[in-house]
Chains A and B, each alone.
Chain A
Amino acid sequence: MNFMASKQPENSLLGPEADSQRTLYPYVTGTSVVALKYKDGILMAADMGGSYGSTLRYKNVERMKAIGKHSLLGASGEISDFQEILRYLDDLILYDNMWDDGNSLGPKEVHNYLTRVMYNRRNKFNPLWNSLVLGGIKNGQKYLGTVSMIGVNFEDDHVATGFGNHLARPILRQEWHENLSFEDGVKLLEKCMRVLLYRDRSAINKLQIAKITEEGMTISQPYSLKTYWEFSAFENPTQGAVGSW
């Protein structure tokens, strides 16, 4: 029984007071996440930027986290909503562990849970403003899936969020193949992240690559990609089109 006076209207149909509780737009956002299946598991990359509109407010945001023993979650979109999702997942994993029955939630199960959470929030017109990437491996079975803020979900051999869908997926469709080695997988991800760095305004040159295998999850130290700005087209961009920028 709740004896404390609650200012929060529980019924989200309660009209104007409840409306102020609903998400209208995101504030602090992360940009693309790119992930692919490789020989031993999943590789995922995301930069460490947290943008506040067009300002680069935070430069040390970890947008990929391990979930339980078998899964890795990457998120783009509203950072605070990502943190709330991590709280939900903490509870989920805790209860799973408390059963103490030798069973543990695999990536497929976590993905399904996240899909239901995102869809239910969308039904209440109060979405968690994220695009999530969930990857993992359990008992030799690799899994890589994604969920959007309105609950659209699917699994594939490679996935990306946001700009990654436009810039990284085509590269992955061309160059991904089964049983990539770790080095080749990282090279391919870096190729995608480099393109995003050149062309996505909200991308920053400080990224992490996370790997999840049967042994567990490891996440790299933040590092930056080598970039090349001496392309002749960059040198004098308005040549041939005076007055443009």
Chain B
Amino acid sequence: MPKQQANWSPYDNNGGSCVAIAGADYCVIAADTRMSTGYNILTRDYSKICKLADKCVMASSGFQADVKALQKHLAARHLIYQHQHNKQMSCPAMAQLLSNTLYYKRFFPYYSFNVLGGLDNEGKGCVFTYDAVGSYEKVGYSSQGSGSTLIMPFLDNQLKSPSPLLLPVQDAVTPLAEAEAVDLVKTVFASASERDIYTGDKLEIVVINADGIRREYMDLRKD
């Protein structure tokens, strides 16, 4: 008897979009709260955002079970780091850890599309963007997930960074004020919800600055 093939897939796409924007002294990370499968909505109130360290927050979309496992893994590693170094992990350090963790499962990937946002050791905003197997890059802003094709071009239009190939090296962070960046995020998600069926319900915005972390919500289209 020929070998039977599995008729189930270990992966599923639970949809959703994530965005992060870095500023001079703040970082905005946002994601919608809709969780879907196929053409169904599973729940309208699921957070895709996870605080990994004091000044480091990750938003991930993709396959929810892998995202959850990844978040738990990183949280556990951070705890060990704190025990060993008696301090919180910096955002760039967590960025490298996330990349290594993703590549570790290069041949059975975490189906998770991540943006990492936070403040670096000098208090300046930083955003790192990833693919599912760990290639990453420090950027001024990024989006991932089902709505990223709709969101990214708009962010490019509004926030276009100078080319990283220019010398002297120019800052990628946006000169926008915090309130303006939050407003831009709201606009961008409202637009994405119009055309991306997997984005909608509610928007969760996390802002990290010198005062700490604050959370904000906004309603999105429920259709």
Contacts and interface: CB of A to CB of B under 8 A. Distances in A.
A45 B108 CA distance: 37
B156 interface: no
Contacts, number: 52
Nearest to B5: A24
B68 A25 contact: no
Interface stretch (B8-16, B21-29, B175-183): B8-16
Interface in B31-49: 35, 37, 40, 42-43, 45-46
A154 B43 contact: yes
Interface string B164-184: 000000000000000000000
B6 interface: yes
Interface residues on A, range: 20 to 34
Contact of A24 (B4, B9, B12): B4
A140 B154 CA distance: 46
A82 interface: no
Interface in A101-139: 115, 119, 122-123, 125, 127
Contact of A125 (B4, B6, B37, B43): B6
The interface residues of chain B, by DSSP majority, are classed as loop
A153 B45 contact: no
A144 to B, nearest CB: 11
Interface residues of B, number: 23
B214 interface: no
Contacts of B108: 123
A151 B35 contact: no
B93 interface: no
A150 B68 CA distance: 12
Contacts of A156: 43, 45
Most buried by B among A16, A150, A153: A150
Interface string A23-39: 01100000000000000
A155 B14 CA distance: 15
Contacts of B46: 154
A165 interface: yes
Given A156-B43, A156-B45, A165-B40, A115 B68 contact: yes
Contacts of A115: 65, 68
A150 B11 contact: yes
Contact of B10 (A122, A153, A169): A122
A19 interface: yes
A87 interface: no
A152 interface: yes
A154 B40 contact: no
Contacts of A154: 35, 42-43, 46, 64
Interface in A144-192: 148-156, 165-166, 169
- Nearest first, the 6 A-B pairs at minimum CB distance are A151-B65, A156-B43, A154-B43, A152-B65, A152-B64, A154-B46
Interface of A: 16, 19, 22, 24-25, 115, 119, 122-123, 125, 127, 148-156, 165-166, 169
7 contacts: A125-B6, A148-B12, A150-B12, A150-B65, A151-B69, A152-B42, A152-B63
Given A19-B3, A123-B108, A151-B65, 19 more contacts: A24-B7, A119-B68, A119-B69, A123-B10, A125-B10, A148-B12, A150-B10, A150-B11, A150-B12, A151-B69, A152-B14, A152-B37, A152-B65, A153-B64, A154-B43, A154-B64, A155-B43, A156-B43, A165-B42
